[in-house]
Structures are given as C-alpha cells and as structure tokens.
Amino acid sequence: MRMSKLFVQTLREFPSDAEVMSHKLLVRAGYIRKLTNGVYNYLPLMWRVLKKIENIVREEMDAAGAQELLMPFVQPSELWQESGRWEVYGKELMRLKDRHNREMCLGPTHEEVITSIGREGIRSYKQLPVNLYQIQSKFRDEIRPRFGLLRGREFIMKDAYSFDADEEGLDKSYEIMAKAYKKIFERCGLETKMVQSDSGAIGGSVSHEFMVLVNEESENNAGENDVFYCTKCGYSANSNHAVSILNPAETDGHFDKAQITDTPDVHSIEELSQFLKVPSSVICKCLIYVIDGKYVAALIRGDRTVEETKLMNVFAGNDIRIARNDEIEEIMNNSGFSAIAGFIGPKGLKGVEIVADETVKELKNFVIGINQTDKHLTGANWGSDVELPEKIADIRLVEQNDKCKDCGAELKVTKGIEVGNIFKLGTKYSKAMNATFTDKDGQEKPFIMGCYGIGISRTAAAAVERHHDEYGIKWPVSIAPYKVIVVPVSDQDEKQMSVAEEIYNKLIEAKIEVLLDDRQERAGVKLKDADLIGIPYRITVGKTILDNLVEFKERATNVTQTISPDEAVQRIINIS
C-alpha cells in the first residue's frame, strides 16, 4: 500500500480527552476515531490489526476443536426472561422496543442465545462435547466508558460456549480453553497471567481471568484490576477474589473494662484511633451497604477494607453500593436510634442483615459504635457486650504483604488489564432454560456448560499499552497492520525513489505486507509517522544509496543498521 493512498490522518497532538497511552496513541496515529461516547470507528489500519488478532483467535479456537458460528446482535427479551437475567442484568443491558412494542436488547454476551441453540440442536450425549464460538461486536452500556478501546460501550469480543455431559467433561473443555488462551495471547505478543477471579453470584463455580500486567510503567493507570500474586508459589487472583492469611494485629491491652466513652466529632477510623490513642485494629468498623435494595451492615477490623464483590457474593447479590446518609437515617429511625454515620454499631439494628468479616471474630476489648452520636463502646467483648453476628465470612480486601493461604509467603500486588475470561457455568443456564440432553442411562439431564471470552479490541489496546515509547506504537509483528515501511528520504531524488519502489515491489512479490511512503512530505514528517504508526520494520532509502546502502530499523528496539537493499529485503522475508 502506498502511503499517498492510505486512508490515515495522523495528528500532531494527543487528543485532549484521552488518559491512557493506548487511547492517546491509537487516536493520534489515525487508528480510531470516536463516534460517540464509548463507540469508535475502526479505521483501515485498526481494522487490519483487529483482523490479525481475530485470525489468531480463529486458528487457535479451531485447533482446540471449537466451531465458529454467528449469532444475532439483537436478542428478544423472552430468552432473558427464561434465564432470569432480564430483571437482574441492570443498566448495562441496552434495552429497546421494536415497532410491535416487543422488548429486545443489544447482546452484551450470548449465554441465553447459545443455550437455546444447544437446547434445539443437541439431543444425545453422543453429540457431546460441543464448543461453539463467534467473533462479534457486543454492546454494554458501561457506566464509565473510558480509556478508548480498553473500556468501550461497543467492542469486539470472541465468545465461546462449551456443552458437556458431566463435570469431568467440563473440566476438560475448560482446560483446553485455558491452553488455547495462553497460546492466543502469546501469539499476539502479550504475556498474560492466568488469575483466579470472582464468578459472580453463581457461587462455587470456577473462573479465571487472563491479565496483561501493566505495573512497570508508573504513569500508566490503564490496568483497572488489582492482581495479587504470591512471591513463592503460583497463587494469583483478582482482588475481587483474592484471599490471604492475615498478619496478626495488636488487638488487646488498651482497655480493662467495657464502658461508654465520649468520642466527639470523630468521623473516620483514623480520627477515632487518634482520639482514643489505640491502633485502628482495635476498632470494629460497621459499614452500611445496600445490596439489591436491601440493607446490610458489614463489620470489619478497623485497619482493613471491605471488598465489595466478596460482600455482595455473601448475599448472592447483583448490585452493591454504600448507603447514603438519608438511608442511614431511615435505619436509625426504624431501630429507634438517631446516630449519624461514624457511630453506627450492629446492636439493635432493625431491618438490616449483619455480616462480620473473619477478622472481627478474634477482637478482644475492642471499640465499637453503639448508635449514639459522639459515643463509642470501648473495651467491648463479644457475648458479654455485643453479640457476634451469626454470619461470618471473608469480605476483606487482601493487602500487600498479607500471607499466601497456600504457602504462607508474602503476597504482592500489581495492575492488570483483563483481556480474557474463562468460566465454568455448570447448569446455571441449562437448568433455568430447560436445556437438556438424553444421557447414557436414558435420563434427561441439563447440559454442563462453560463460557470463554476474549476482548479482541481490548487486546489490541492492551498490546499498545505494553508496546510503545514516547514516539509511538511498537506493534508486535504478528498483529501489526503492515510488517514493514519503506521510506525514501527525499521524494525529489530519483535514485532514492526508484530504489524504494524496487524494494517495495520485491516485498509485494514476496507477499509481505508493506507500506511505501511515497508522499511529498519532509523526511522528518515521514520518519515520525513511521514511528508513531508503529510499523515493526523500516527501510529508509537516503543519500547512502549511492554506496548501495539503506538504513534498516527495528521499531521494537529502535536499533538501526546500514545494509544493502537486497539484504534488507531478505531480512524482512526471513522474519516470521
């Protein structure tokens, strides 16, 4: 392709609305243009990259025995009512009505549709296992679309779904997908970590995320997930799922008897611990949440933080938020108290479910709110002063330097971009939607299912996050829009132009994806654009062509060498 013909407009500046490097660079280098919030045009260069990723995904999925199909983007609400998700999916589900007033939605994911396909098409255990996948645009009305392709509202996903006759079958299908994912990301030039993750309200199910780690670049905040990993054994997990053994805290010896103590105007754990001159680990925090519209009080040791997904899962919830002040007021009214936030305690709360983190159990002679403003109970003990809640669970966020539950070594944290997710669904959808097959013994059984997603467009953006410098993108060769760019320094110099054309033609003949920068531009502009667009190799034809030499540059390392045009062509052909 000739640059003079290529539909690409590079910009002098980064776009003002972009926060992370992949967003900044993809816009500036002319890969994407925003159409509306969270919705992007994939311009020709971008589309080439996306197709490359899609093809790698296709090849590995096919090799793993999966079959490609394509399901509709618009789905009828009836299917979602069957699974029960029409009510619970929330605002990310883009709902619409057709001209007959029938409710529909734009597919955010396709469990319902695939389950209906399995229900109709698979009758017998003899047809199992089956793994079906598609590559398609998805729509999720994300609350905060941001970071360009990393979190769009419309984005491209590969989603696969497996059907098996039993749990062992599912384990195998899952294992095969885990291996395929590893290969896919490796082939895309991305190192990933497979980490345990939350499986939502399904409870007991297994799921893993594939994370591109982005911690090394300190200015970079593109990694939206915290990944905890053990420094000794292989344990690693998303913070929404990570568990740890706690370092024992200093919890005793500050109070010798239980008494109500004035704590005026203290509004945080920090202020309370300073005021009472005790470590925050001696305080029992009581936080009020709203989970699916119901009030929940969460007790946790004062030095620790509640992990909201973990807390939500205790109640098999779909939606969680911290209670507003007017809601706390309502609870106080209903319970016959009048305290404000900061002084709330579990004793005497009405219309509120209470759950205590494991850390709370061990507390002795501790500090706790008693629903009286400006007062706390100090030196409290479970049983004699306050009842220990029946519901005790791990609802705390793991912290750096907590101990690994598997081997006791220290846990560390890093940031990650989730590019893929594999998931054991079990019978969640097949049971709800009555999708069954006849098993060996003649019995009707629900399918044991799995689902497996890869964010195609997010993977492209993650590759830019991992591979760039201050001058632009450094695409891994396997997903670059073109492999090489040939740049004559002066478009006025006949010799330079003719050698550049020659190299270009030879590369085309060798079926290499090559760009020729034949634009009437200054050398500086052309060289800058080549770096910005991030083509992996550049062959620059300048004055040294009189000695039969060109400059050969590898974008990944920015190393340049002076070699003959023929050698440059041969090198490109030899690089796979």
Locus of tokens 């620059």: 540
Handedness of CA 255, 256, 258, 264 (dihedral sign): negative
What DSSP line would sit under 139-167, residue for residue?
E---SS-BTGGGB-SEEEEEEEEEEESSH
Q: Which of residues 372-431 bind Mg ion (CB under 5 A)?
A: 421
Here the tokens at position 144 are: 């905060």
Chain contacts with ligand ATP (rule: CB under 6 A): 109, 140, 142, 151-152, 155, 157, 418-421, 453, 455, 457-458
155 binds, among ligand ATP, Mg ion, none (CB under 5 to 8 A by kind): ligand ATP
Which of Mg ion, ligand ATP, none interacts with 419 (beta carbon under 5 to 8 A by kind)?
ligand ATP
Spatial distance between the Cα atoms of 254 and 273, rounded to a whole number of angstroms: 11
| Dist. CA 228–CA 415, nearest whole Å | 9
Q: What does 59 interact with, of Mg ion, ligand ATP, none (CB < 5 to 8 A by kind)?
A: none
Residue 151 near which of Mg ion, ligand ATP, none (CB within 5-8 Å, type-dependent): ligand ATP
User: What is the C-alpha to C-alpha distance for residues 166 and 365, in angstroms, rounded to an integer?
Assistant: 51
CB of 559 to ligand ATP, least distance (A): 33
Minimum CB distance to ligand ATP smaller for 145 or for 379: 145
Beta pairing partners, 245 = 403
CB of 298 to Mg ion, least distance (A): 24
Closer of 453 and 488 to ligand ATP (Cβ):
453
Min separation Cβ 415 and Mg ion, Å: 16
Q: Tally Cβ neighbours within 10 Å of residue 522.
A: 12
Residue among 89 and 471 whose Cβ is closer to ligand ATP: 89
CA-wise closest residue to 137 among 180, 160, 168, 106: 106
Separation between Cα atoms, residue 415 and residue 146, nearest integer Å? 17
Select from ligand ATP, Mg ion, none the partner in contact with residue 483, using the beta carbon and a kind-dependent cut-off of 5 to 8 Å. Answer: none
Instruction: Give the C-alpha separation, 156 to 73, whole Å.
Output: 12
Other CB atoms within 10 A of residue 256 CB: 8
* Residue 136 contacts residue 70 (beta carbons within 8 Å): yes
Residue 446 binds which entry of ligand ATP, Mg ion, none, with Cβ cut-offs from 5 to 8 Å by kind? Answer: none
Q: How far is the CB of 326 from ligand ATP (least distance, A)?
A: 30
- Bridge partners of 134, per DSSP, are 159
Backbone angles phi, psi at 423, to 5 degrees: -150, 125
265: alpha, beta or left, given left = phi > 0 and alpha = psi -120 to 50? Answer: left
DSSP lists the bridge partners of residue 561 as 552
C-beta of 432: minimal distance to ligand ATP in Å? 18
Q: How many CB atoms within 10 Å of residue 57?
A: 25
Q: How many CA atoms lie within 13 A of 571 on its CB side?
A: 18
Token pair in block for residue 406: 């598997």
Residue with the shortest CB distance to ligand ATP: 455
Phi, then psi, of 302 in degrees rounded to 5:
-55, -25
Give the one entry of Mg ion, ligand ATP, none that residue 26 binds, where binding means its C-beta sits below a cut-off of 5 to 8 angstroms depending on kind: none
What's the min distance (Å) between Cβ of 550 and ligand ATP? Answer: 40
HSE, CB side, 13 Å, CA atoms: give it for residue 69: 16
Residue number, 38 or 346, with CB nearest to ligand ATP:
38
**Residue 304 CB, nearest approach to ligand ATP (Å):** 23
Partner in contact with 420, chosen from Mg ion, ligand ATP, none, beta carbon below 5 to 8 Å by kind = ligand ATP
Closest separation between CB of residue 456 and ligand ATP, Å? 8
Q: Does 244 bind Mg ion (CB under 5 A)?
A: no
Whole-number Å distance between alpha carbons of 269 and 258: 19
Q: Provide the minimum distance between the beta carbon of 197 and ligand ATP in the complex, in angstroms, as a whole number.
A: 8
Q: Which is nearer to ligand ATP, 125 or 147 (CB)?
A: 147
SS3 of 392, please? strand
Q: Which does 455 bind (CB under 5 to 8 A by kind): Mg ion, ligand ATP, none?
A: ligand ATP
Q: 186 or 521: whose CB is closer to ligand ATP? A: 186
Interface characters, 54-83, with Mg ion (x: CB under 5 A): ------------------------------
Closer residue to ligand ATP (CB): 280 or 457: 457
Would you say 223 or 345 has its CB closer to ligand ATP? 223
Residues near 351 by beta carbon (within 8 Å), at least 6 away in sequence:
295, 331, 334, 335
Query: What backbone phi and psi angles, to 5 degrees, belong to 212?
Result: -90, 120
Output 28 or 458, the one with its CB closest to ligand ATP. Answer: 458
Instruction: Return the number of the residue (424 or 555) whose C-beta is nearest ligand ATP.
Output: 424
Nearer residue to Mg ion within complex by CB, 110 or 467 = 110
> Closest approach of Cβ 397 to ligand ATP, in Å?
17
Residue 140 binds: one of ligand ATP, Mg ion, none (C-beta under 5 to 8 A by kind): ligand ATP
Residues that bind Mg ion (CB under 5 A): 421
